[in-house]
Chain A
Amino acid sequence: ITVPMWAMADPDDDVLVLNGETEMVTKTAAPAHLSDAMDEVMSGWHFRSDETQTMQADDFDNPGMVFVENAMAAWETPEGSEGKSCASCHGAPEDMAGVKPTYPKWNDGAETVYTLQMAMNDCRTKRMGAEAWGYDKGPAIEMVALMSSVSRGMPMNVAIDGPAQATWELGKELYYTRTGQLDLSCANCHEDNYGNMIRADHLSQGQVNGFPAYRLKNAKLNGVHSRFKGCVRDTRAETYKPGSAEFIALELYVSSRANGLSVEGPSVRN
């Protein structure tokens, strides 16, 4: 306790093995587009305490898995005017393995970048005749957690070129723009200062491969945009809204910084 905090502030070298089976990639060479900024990308998992890390390593201990179970039930439940469930068209949730790591992604039909929640809401409104889920709200975030859980261990792999490039550029600009009265950008905290302590918080690289994240602090699953909103608010700025064009672009950009890291969601964070 008398040891200064930063003596233990560096990211650790622990290895995340999921359910005693799947070894996760939690540190890897930075993707090419980041090579002038950093050499290695690291999961936020390395910046958490041993207890929090252990919780995530086993599905029986991971409090986020309860919400995945809710989503499994929702997956099978017909909803809307067409009387269809997700299962009617997509089969088992496991058949969706490999989808999560590619999102956000360009959608040809809509001619815009889609987050996973937008893709799911298209199915709900256009294919099921059901109501769209609110952005980052319970049912949506639970289903994202299910989609993520079946892709755990697969490398994040979002495309940043082609038609998505302009959105990616916007996201990059937002990442490096200082906002609010504290005049801080995402990069100021998560690129320039990861590993350092900002009061009691151990700053990570702010990666999104672990989302949705179960936070011990609010005892629920948290979506990427909600996390962004919290971080922007903490710069004493006017935030953007979950689901906004800005946060979609930022999610694409931040996701691309995690390319190569294993999908971990639902992760456990403090």
Chain B
Amino acid sequence: MKLSTLTAAAVMVAGVAHAEMVAPTKVAFTEDGAVEASLTGKAGDAAKGAEVYGSKKLGNCVACHEITTQDVAFPGNVGPQLDGVADRWNEAELRGILVNSKMTFEGTVMPAYYKVDGFTRPGKAYTGKAADDTFGPLLSAEQIEDVIAFLMTLKEE
């Protein structure tokens, strides 16, 4: 009996997780630009998030941000330092900033990482050619959740 209950529960969790995978066009923002629910229905992996943050091929957040405790060459300073960012923003707010920062900071230069429409002359990555059917968000739902988990570790207080 116990076994089958467990199995049923596991199936249910998987089903729920699937149902909660939020598409880029379906993200619900609060009035202040936060996104309450995890895009994957799960918590992210902070270690993977750190990699997405620092990798030029993935988030390339270091192009504009510095985290002084991170050893990445040539961080940019177009955006603010992210040391202690989890003291300033909660998880839902950070998710909103990542999904579409313009919902939090009007007119910001920070790109929207989970958005697929409303662009002018969208291209196919960095080829200079027009976007084709491979066009997708800059980061996957999972990568976004990983970066959020990583940012949540940046506490100073």
Contact = CB atoms under 8 A, between A and B. Distances in A.
Contacts of B122: 180-181, 236-238
A236 B76 contact: no
Interface string B74-93: 11111000000000000000
Interface residues of B, number: 30
Contact of B125 (A177, A192, A197, A236): A236
Contacts of A200: 73-74
Interface string B86-109: 000000000000000000000001
A177 B120 contact: yes
Nearest to B115: A181
Given A236-B123, A238-B121, A182 B111 contact: yes
Contacts of A197: 74-78
A180 B123 contact: yes
A182 B63 CA distance: 13
B64 interface: yes
Interface in A104-151: none
Contacts of A188: 109
Contacts of A196: 76-78
Q: For chain A, which range describes its interface: under 10, 10 to 19, 20 to 34, or 35 or more residues? A: 20 to 34
Contacts of B78: 193, 196-198, 203
Interface stretch (A58-66, A226-234, A262-270): A226-234
Contacts of A234: 126
Interface stretch (B25-33, B36-44, B127-135, B144-152): B127-135
6 contacts: A5-B77, A177-B120, A193-B78, A199-B64, A233-B126, A238-B122
